[in-house]
Chains A and B, each alone.
Chain A
Amino acid sequence: MDTTPLANGRNLLEVRGLTKIFGTLKACDQIDLTIAKGEIHALLGENGAGKSTLVKMLFGSLEPNAGQIHWNGQLARITSPGVAKKLGIGMVFQHFSLFEALTAAENIALSLADDTPIGTIAAKARALSYSYGLPLDPDSLVGDLSVGERQRIEIIRCLLQTPDLIILDEPTSVLTPQEADRLFETLERLRSEGKSILYISHRLDEVRRLCDSATIMRHGKVVGHCNPRLETPSSLARMMVGTEVKNAERTTASVRGEELLSICGMSRKPAGPFSTPLKNIWLSVAGGEVIGIAGVAGNGQGELFEAVSGEALQESADAIRIRGKSAGRMGISARRLLGAAFVPEERLGHGAAPRMRLSDNLLLSRHATDGKAFVAGLGLIKSGAIQKAAQRIIDVMDVRKSAPDPEAAALSGGNLQKFIIGRELDRNPAVMVVNQPTWGVDAGAAARIRQALIELARNGSAVLVISQDLDELFEISDSIAVMHNGELSKPIPIADATLERIGLLMGGAEPGHLDHAKEVA
């Protein structure tokens, strides 16, 4: 523990000119950041702005190329997370590092360096968790816990080391609105105890509500410091993005068209020990409408996508109907031939092969549906036609790239996603199923993608969007259904949907949907 006298009043952390270079990319360029004692400081920026790189340098998992870090007024060299912990810096990661097969207490014990008996740790953790209003049973298996509860373990684990500075990386991205509220109360309490918090987010409302000051990053540089309470969401967004961000325009749905995609009582056994089983899911998507599926991560959304896309087959052919045809036993290519298109959550390695060029990645999902246009006799690939089509998609979706036909991995997340969405839109699919359409995508590209999905629906297609971003779902959906623990609620028309109502469903307030099942049947 560093207890040297303070040279510089009340600043806990001062960062000067911190720079990190990866290859030719300056991920962080001359970053200045000051965090006072007892403040909640926001670090704002879009995906890829360099927030995570900066934080990793503060936590010692990356070594800066240049710059200085002053801790309590003293020059500090943070060479490893161990050093950071000793100084009094704690971190709660966006992606948890917990062993699912161990209990909460065992997971906490693993990160503590000493030999404290597990019973003592459990008792301490329990006391701490209740005193901060984060109830947690230390003896429960992590695999059985919800994402919000897992986050509590991470926070308790961090607090047990009595840090002076707590870094939270996108903590609310996995929480229901109600869980987020409870987290904010805890953070405010920590602040009142004199602890400092570095709060990383791109959610402006939260930042304005919670934080005392903010540092805004764009393209690896600090573009401003401000007091978020004195700013409007749109002025903050402007600083983050650099330009005005438009919301997608949503015209009211025209007459509900005919049913194009229906899921009838579909169940699926868990594929692995920690995947979620799907339980009796009913859903019908008609032409002309966008249906959103909300839910906290890990409640079966991925399993639902695999089942609908045909990467996993159903036991009964009637469990899924696409344009009136029973498709439950069909593979993904056959479902595409019925007019469906799919965009998975993971871009690299699922939606696209990272080391293949864009034109090859076009062929990836279109070789069956555009067999005549792209493949000649004897399976000969018509590369001319494919390159032309790829260029068409690149132009329509405004995909920015560095080479004429680059490898998919060379594109930024947003540009690759625009290409992947454009690849499917180019077919004019009757049914479009998208999982996390704008995850990790910058605001400009996200708006472009959302607009494209709405337009597709307005032209008569059925669009199903699975997303954890509630703002996005409220922006584009005609009705929203909620997944919780492998069950899907009845869709709520957007006019009746409130953040509170959806949030309650995300927390599992309405288990089972028997009335809904009866109604559809």
Chain B
Amino acid sequence: MRIELVKRPERSKLFAALSPLIALGLTLIAGAIMFSLLGKDPVEALYYYFIDPLREVWSLHELAVKAAPLILIAVGLSICYLSNNWNIGAEGQFVIGAITGSILPVMFPDFQSWIVLPLMLLMGIAGGAAYGAIPAYLKVRFNTNEILTSLMLVYVAQLFLDWMVRGPWRNPAGMNFPETRTFSPSAVLPEIWSASGRANWGFVFAIVAAIALWFMLSRTLKGFEVLVLGQSPRAGRFAGFSQSKMVFFAFLVSGGLAGLAGISEVSGAIGQLRPTISPGYGFAAIIVAFLGRLNPLGIIAAGLVLALSYLGGEAAQISIGVSDKVVRAFQGMLLFFVLACDTLILYRIRFVGASAAKTVEATQNV
């Protein structure tokens, strides 16, 4: 017996909707197997991982804190991936956005006004977008592979941040710790509802960005251009759309949103620059983008799921003592299963018995 993939006549709407759910289910099963191999009770582990963090209001706030950067970055990436631009460097754009956004509170701590925060956010967006423009320029001008260039620029950005906080921007009153001075209150992104938890306005930015990009993609000519150039570049050229302008557009939008996520995270959740400001949001957002089917509204849901995997990882570390590397394992499995299940949208599975290969009788049941 062998298994065959048979191409469907058209995309299956049913499996387009089901595939992320099947992927989640398979991830949970694989996760349970992983926990039992680690010698833990799989039911208890999955409970601490996926249910426990949702039981209290303060931890729902934590969920929003973690989900905000994931959603912001992922909706930007969805524009890239839909237009066939493979930006893998959102992590770097996030870091650079955080650095440029922090120029005011770090270098001019005495400048305190209501305008500081908006300026920081704008500078964060500009920094991320400018950093995203580098692989875009290299792709358009020299036809380089943007997967490689954007990925390599991540490490450049991370090492630059490391050098900044240990060198020029180190807090003079910080006992030589590698971190900048803490931001003044006017440079801190306020909490949405501080009475009940820590969630800040970054989450609102994320929801607004997702809705705005959803609207652009589904209702406007620009969104149409993104989709046409992504699906069939030659038809896009025939339509009169410019491929190179689209490369810049996609990288500027996703870089800008990653930069906004970076400065929001630093200004809202951390309050200063440190050598490490992200637990891999820029990479996890790639999973979020695909889990959300590259649809900005789906990405909101997917962002919350991935945020839960971070929270659950922390919870499981504390309560049942598994390594924090388990988080990465879960995220990796999830991306693997999402991409694998997407096959079901275009193909159906057929089991072929050994005898059926003979050219005897037609037994088609389509």
* Chain A residues proximal to chain B, CB less than 8 Å: 19, 21, 23-25, 63-68, 77, 309, 311, 331-333, 336, 342, 344, 346, 349-356, 360, 363-365, 367-368, 375, 378-381, 407, 409-410
Contacts and interface: CB of A to CB of B under 8 A. Distances in A.
B238 A351 contact: yes
A379 B223 CA distance: 9
Contact of A23 (B236, B362, B366): B366
A364 B239 contact: yes
Given A66-B362, A346-B234, A333 B220 contact: no
Contacts of A380: 219-221
B364 interface: yes
Interface string B1-16: 0000011111100000
Contacts of A409: 10
A24 B231 CA distance: 26
B237 interface: yes
B9 A24 contact: yes
A415 to B, nearest CB: 16
Contact of B362 (A19, A309, A351): A19
Interface of A is mostly: mixed
Interface size band for B:
20 to 34
Nearest to A352: B235
A379 B220 contact: yes
Contacts of B11: 355
19 contacts: A24-B366, A25-B9, A63-B359, A77-B358, A77-B359, A311-B237, A332-B237, A349-B235, A352-B235, A353-B231, A353-B232, A353-B236, A355-B11, A355-B232, A360-B224, A363-B221, A364-B228, A365-B238, A381-B221
B56 interface: no
Contacts of A65: 359, 362, 364
Contacts of A25: 9
Nearest to A63: B359
B267 to A, nearest CB: 31
B210 to A, nearest CB: 19
A21 B364 contact: yes
Contacts of A66: 359-362
Contacts of B8: 23
B329 to A, nearest CB: 34
Interface string B326-366: 00000000000000000000000000000001111110101
A410 B227 CA distance: 18
A375 B239 CA distance: 15
B10 A375 contact: no
Given A63-B359, A68-B359, A410-B10, A350 B219 contact: no
Nearest to A337: B240
A365 B360 contact: no
Contacts of A23: 6-9, 366
A25 B10 CA distance: 13
A356 to B, nearest CB: 7
The 8 closest A-B pairs by CB, nearest first: A333-B240, A66-B362, A379-B221, A379-B220, A65-B362, A23-B9, A353-B235, A353-B232
Nearest to B215: A380
A27 to B, nearest CB: 12
A344 B238 contact: yes
A306 B360 CA distance: 50
Contacts of B366: 21, 23-24
A311 B243 CA distance: 12
Contacts of A375: 221
Nearest to A346: B234
Contact of B224 (A344, A381, A407): A381
A381 B238 CA distance: 19
Contacts of B231: 353-356
Contacts of A344: 238
